[in-house]
Structure 1
Amino acid sequence: MRYFDKFYRLFQKTLQNLYTDPKEVENIFFLLMTHVFKCDKTTILLKLSRKVKIHFLIYDKLIRKLWELKKNRPIQYVIGKTYFLDMEFIVNEKVFIPRPETEELVSWILQDSNNTRSIQIFDIGTGSGCISITLKKKKPEIERIYAIDFSQKALEIAHKNAELHNVKISFKMVDFLKDSIFIPEMNEIAVSIIVSNPPYVRLSEKKLLHPNIVQYEPYQALFVPDEDPLIFYKKISFWIKKKFTGVVYVYFEINQFIYLDIMDFMKKIGFLNIEIRKDFQGFFRMIRAVYYG
């Protein structure tokens, strides 16, 4: 039984009822195998085709990981890492797993900031730190980045990721719904960028999510009350109006079911040049607006 090809078949059979798309099971398989064997996908494919035997100690480890997956634990938590715009990030149950649509949001910021030299960035609800760390790594000329989260455990993971990528980020623990964020002096800073992927899933939408999201990912990073689904967008927007001077660009990841509500709210309180974009699946999932303080 301890052969690559036989384990592959066992893996597919074990998880086929948890994931409707066979390609997803295959992707999870290769993520696990390349992690455990510390190699690339091509090497695993060769071992599969040659029916290479697996050492019993490694096989036992793989079986334990497979049972974790069978219990709906996301592969990213099982292997303790994920990838975001081709960069590796440490993750565990204390932080939300970065998604492809967030990659698109960060790519939008990078594209927009190509011709802007003096920038300071605030990443609200940083989680694993993937947004702020990627921005600093891809654009090291950014002067200052402040990454904010209410969870000390999440910030510990974000700190580790910043060290992993050797970038300097100012991390601050703030409960954004309750506390005010200190705004440093903005001497010679021409532009401020606020980016946030806040909780935006309404509790009534919980049933639409895959069980591994509901069971394992941090509840407070996901859900908002049905009666006030814009709670974080409102708080951030009013904070910008109250505290910032000069030009402020804001980038939000959003709930595709209430994108019109978010647009209307931002228009009403004075944000301009509002643009909304679809993600790779064709859903309206990100918005950019400008505020002139």
Structure 2
Amino acid sequence: MMNCRTVKQLINSFNQELESFYPKEEIRNFTGIILAHLLGFSRTDMLIKTDYELGEADRRFCMDALLKLKQQVPIQYIVGHTLFYGLTFYVDKNVLIPRPETEELVQWIIQDTEFTAPAILDIGTGSGCIPIALKKHMPQAKVTAWDISPKAITLAKRNAKANNVEIDFNLQDVLAPNIEISRKYDIIVSNPPYVRELEKKIMQDNVLKHEPHLALFVKDNDPLLFYRAISKLATQALNANGRLYFEINEALGKQTSHLMRNMGFKEVELGNDIFGKNRMVKGSL
């Protein structure tokens, strides 16, 4: 079995053990994340501190991490945290791992907003990455976040505390009938489930086997289920000139835009990610 007494041995062992599972660059990324997590190492430290000896507990962690990586467990779940918009978030199997395109959605909202102290609602908050990042960069905002999962809410509250922000988290199913709207919002944002069942065959095992399907998938016959429900809610819950923002399925940009226009939203605009794909949309009342 693998030898990981020193940093050099750890790197070599991970390369040998994982070469049939992952590309070299990805394995290098794994070892970098693990060494940063265990020892606070930078990428430079990995190169110049190769003889550094790991303690017994660190070696056990590395052995366990290796077994989990062979089972396609995401590295973020193994170390228990990830970076999003320059902030650290705890993550586990109860929430999706925040993605770069969601960072771009947050950036769009921050650059876009003309409100000095907006009331913001995030629907389907998961780890809390969207509302926490928004609150961190718009300290005057009053931010509310909903999720259907009690475990996700618990983790999101932990992330808010760790990042020193106040968010009002609520357990709420956006598909429930007759949701009571107790206040109005200037911004509503959501990254709802949008992956169609038919798209499972092109997805990687680390996502399919380990990330929560409740937060990922929708039925092929109604892929805009959540967009319809949230858009309808937003027509009642947004202030005049309020804005609705979504992360979207890149294959359904036109359909999502059409739905929002039919719901009465104006200035509906698709936004592209850094790869030029339609990954977000906004509209105003």
Mapped to 1, the partners of 2:211 and 2:54 lie a distance apart of 32
Structure 1 pair 103/199, CA: closer, same or farther in 2 (3 Å)?
same
Mapped to 1, the partners of 2:131 and 2:217 lie a distance apart of 22
In the TM superposition, residue 180 of structure 1 has moved relative to its aligned partner by 4.3
Aligned runs of 1:224-263 on 2, under 5 Å? 224-263=218-257
Q: Which amino acid aligns with 2:123?
A: I
Quick check: 1:124 aligned with 2:108? Answer: no
Q: Which amino acid aligns with 1:158?
A: A
Q: Quick one: which of 21, 34, 42 aligns to 1:32? A: 34
In the TM superposition, residue 269 of structure 1 has moved relative to its aligned partner by 2.3
Equivalent in the alignment of 1:217: 211
Secondary structure (helix, strand or coil) at the match of 1:140 reads: coil
Q: Structure 1, residues 170-227: CA drift from partner, whole Å, max 9, x if none?
A: 10101111144433345xxxx6101100000000101111101011111100000000
Equivalent in the alignment of 2:46: 44
Q: Which amino acid aligns with 1:263?
A: S
Mapped to 2, the partners of 1:55 and 1:159 lie a distance apart of 33
Paired residues, number: 282
Quick check: 1:108 aligned with 2:108? Answer: yes
Equivalent in the alignment of 1:81: 81
Secondary structure (helix, strand or coil) at the match of 1:216 reads: coil
Secondary structure (helix, strand or coil) at the match of 2:145 reads: strand
Mapped to 1, the partners of 2:277 and 2:202 lie a distance apart of 15
Aligned runs of 1:108-257 on 2, under 5 Å? 108-113=108-113, 115-142=114-141, 144-186=142-184, 192-257=186-251
Does structure 2 retain, via aligned residues, the 8 Å contact 1:34–1:44? Answer: no
Quick check: 1:93 aligned with 2:93? Answer: yes
Runs of 4 or more above 6 Å deviation:
none
Mapped to 2, the partners of 1:37 and 1:90 lie a distance apart of 18
TM-score by length of 1: 0.91
In the TM superposition, residue 9 of structure 1 has moved relative to its aligned partner by 2.0
Does structure 1 retain, via aligned residues, the 8 Å contact 2:122–2:146? Answer: yes
The more displaced of 51-60 and 224-233 is 51-60
Equivalent in the alignment of 2:20: 17
RMSD, aligned CA? 1.6
The more displaced of 39-48 and 177-186 is 177-186
Mapped to 2, the partners of 1:33 and 1:181 lie a distance apart of 46
Mapped to 2, the partners of 1:290 and 1:259 lie a distance apart of 17
In the TM superposition, residue 68 of structure 1 has moved relative to its aligned partner by 1.0
Instruction: Flag structure 1 segments of 5+ consecutive residues without an equivalent.
Output: none
TM-score by length of 2: 0.94
Mapped to 2, the partners of 1:137 and 1:243 lie a distance apart of 23
Mapped to 1, the partners of 2:18 and 2:75 lie a distance apart of 12
Secondary structure (helix, strand or coil) at the match of 2:233 reads: helix
In the TM superposition, residue 52 of structure 1 has moved relative to its aligned partner by 3.3
Equivalent in the alignment of 2:7: 4
Mapped to 2, the partners of 1:185 and 1:64 lie a distance apart of 47
Structure 1 pair 28/179, CA: closer, same or farther in 2 (3 Å)?
farther
Mapped to 2, the partners of 1:180 and 1:172 lie a distance apart of 16
Instruction: Flag structure 2 segments of 5+ consecutive residues without an equivalent.
Output: none
The more displaced of 25-34 and 231-240 is 25-34
